[in-house]
Chain A
């Protein structure tokens, strides 16, 4: 009787272990598949963005004869200082989708307007209420840290002076230099509020695998001067 009971218990334990291990394997497979799918999606988005950028560039080249100096480029901040940004006439559609690049941490994602759940599944998103790239104020970008491709998994490695690039399809590049980082509570939305500087904020959950706090990377727009 005791032997029979022991055998039954053992069977139950084995069944639990078996179910647990199966669940683990399924979860692991899910993670791998999900990561692969997100990565594939990221690559596809980047490829699409590059092809659209090229198409726009070709279109501009074809129309270049018709253009007058004052029309192009309207907000080129990297080349000639005479180019003046006309923010009054610009909307989010002029910017997004952007390509976000951070060479220090090998980050390259397509950035969309908005931070709703669906948008953030695709990649980092720009918080609509905040200023646009290059503008005065705090242009804020939010991204997942551990899920959906974890675009911002390594942003805690950014230190003073690291450069962050936002590139539009029209080849305008906004370069930001990291000034520092900050950890705040999720309800501390005051950090998004206006600034007299042209700043960029990257926000994500902190610490990893927790939504207890928010990690904020603060960067400032820096003009890249070229001397040909």
Chain B
């Protein structure tokens, strides 16, 4: 083989190697670029989600602060009424009055809750809490009917039992949902307060 041919073959081989190398380089580069881009997109998305998540967590914390204050006031009223009830009141008029006040306290809490801004993750909790308060009002209302009936031995108290059971059911549902959402947003510490 002549030197000239060798040079040509070598040149062709080199060109081929360069072309293959370039191809490999460009394909791998594109892959790396795509991966980098994907990672960047994912990071952006993560940051965005994190932002949304932290915004939601903030909203939940704010809701918790406001609603807890209302519930604390409610608990104080309920405790006072329970103390009255346990102090051996002297007649059924007082009994009816205390029961009416207890029902009014629940109605007020329900009304206040309905006017609050509810963060999206707490929508289910809100629904359960409202149902709990509705059943609480209904149960106390049934008890009030019982006291007003003056017919204590023969009064059909199935409605009271039903309302009591509904109340227990919804309070458990609301509690479980609250714990779930707070856990999801790392807000468990709010459950302790």
Contacts and interface: CB of A to CB of B under 8 A. Distances in A.
A196 B153 contact: yes
Contacts of B143: 225, 227
Contact of A81 (B90, B154, B164): B164
B160 A161 contact: no
Interface residues of B, number: 26
A162 to B, nearest CB: 5
Given A161-B93, A196-B153, A220-B152, A81 B88 contact: no
B91 interface: yes
A81 B160 CA distance: 9
Contacts of A161: 91-93
Contact-size category for A = 20 to 34
Contacts of A179: 150
Q: Give the secondary structure class of B's interface.
A: helix
Interface string B170-184: 000000000000000
Contacts of B129: none
B140 A163 contact: no
A192 interface: no
B95 interface: yes
B90 A162 contact: yes
Contact of A163 (B82, B92, B153, B160): B92
B85 interface: yes
Contacts of B92: 161-163, 177, 222
Interface of B: 78, 82, 85, 88-93, 95, 99, 102, 136, 139-140, 143, 146-147, 150, 152-154, 157, 160-161, 164
15 contacts: A103-B88, A161-B93, A162-B90, A163-B95, A177-B92, A196-B153, A197-B152, A197-B153, A198-B152, A199-B153, A220-B153, A221-B153, A223-B146, A223-B157, A227-B78
User: Nearest 6 CB-CB pairs, A to B?
Assistant: A197-B153, A103-B90, A161-B92, A104-B90, A161-B91, A225-B143
